Structure 1
Amino acid sequence: MKVSIIYASTTGNTEAMANSIKEAVASTGAEVVFGTADNADASSVTSSDVILLGSPAMGDEVLEDTMEAFYTGIESGLSGKKVGLFGSYDWGDGQWLRDWEERAKAAGATVTESLMVHLTPEGDDISKCQEWAKKAL
């Protein structure tokens, strides 16, 4: 099974989530494609069995710019794909993640329950990231 984990991070919080998720996915024996939205190869990602994407909430609860650009580029290739979305936030109620879920569903993806962490993932949050990753497979 090939799993892509692509993320954007501005303060390191979503990156910490992505690293925990990568560790959990790798422990299952899956082939892992891992990287940032500004450097990811769209064709490699869309050829994966499972696609896990992460972005912090920015501004008025929107995706980080590089993730928005990357996601827009792969959106049409998500039909029939299993997709999991994750990210960190400071304030708000998670609207950016709910909006992103709706976009992925509209693109034809099968979207697993999303994962949100307030600020820096620590302690139980790390465990939540790892458990979420295994369920997303």
Structure 2
Amino acid sequence: MSKIMIVYWSGTGNTKMMAEQIGKGVLSEGGEAEVLEVSGVKAEALKEVPVFALGCPSMGDEVLEEGDMEPFVEELERFVSGKKIGLFGSYGWGNCEWMRDWEERLKKAGAQIVNGEGITVLGEPDAETLENCMILGKSLAMS
């Protein structure tokens, strides 16, 4: 089993909390997790990685964070075909359109979304969301 990279951007700490819980899920299955802020990772680092997770909250008009995460995802789209990706993030308003758009973008690029859809939560992750993040981590470790 290779190391599972969990790359995220977080403004308030909610998405970071989700990333850390996904890492715990990976560890619970005997895997190795690396939880990293997107600003410290180059997309190229994921080129040979078959399974990973990406997290970002909804920003502005239900879009990805534009300074770090959007350019990172744009670069990833060139080589994610065949990869299994877990998606997650929090939001403050809206109806999770940013997550549906993100899922669709990556599917169009040939990626498989682990567990079929991304995990979203309004505001701070509650117990159910944290359990779903743990399950996502376990799924990533078993992929």
TM-score by length of 1: 0.92
Task: Indicate the percent of aligned positions where both proteins have the same amino acid.
Answer: 43
Q: Which runs of 4+ in 1 moved over 3 A?
A: none
Asked if 1:134 corresponds to 2:115, the answer is no
Q: 2:75 maps to which residue?
A: 73
* More deviation, 3-12/110-119: 110-119
* More deviation, 55-64/21-30: 21-30
Q: 2:103 maps to which residue?
A: 101
Instruction: Pick from 61, 82, 85 the counterpart of residue 83 of structure 1.
Output: 85
Matches of 2:43 and 2:81, distance apart in 1: 14
Aligned residues: 137
Segments of structure 2 that go 5 or more residues without pairing to the other structure are: none
Q: 2:30 corresponds to which letter in structure 1?
A: G
Matches of 1:98 and 1:124, distance apart in 2: 20
Query: What secondary structure sits across from 1:73 in the alignment?
Result: helix
TM-score by length of 2: 0.88
Q: 1:60 maps to which residue?
A: 61
Instruction: Pick from 100, 123, 126 the counterpart of residue 122 of structure 1.
Output: 126
Shift of the alpha carbon at 1:44? Answer: 2.5
* More deviation, 40-49/111-120: 40-49
Q: Are 2:20 and 2:35, in contact at CA under 8 Å, matched by a contact in 1?
A: no
Segments of structure 1 that go 5 or more residues without pairing to the other structure are: none
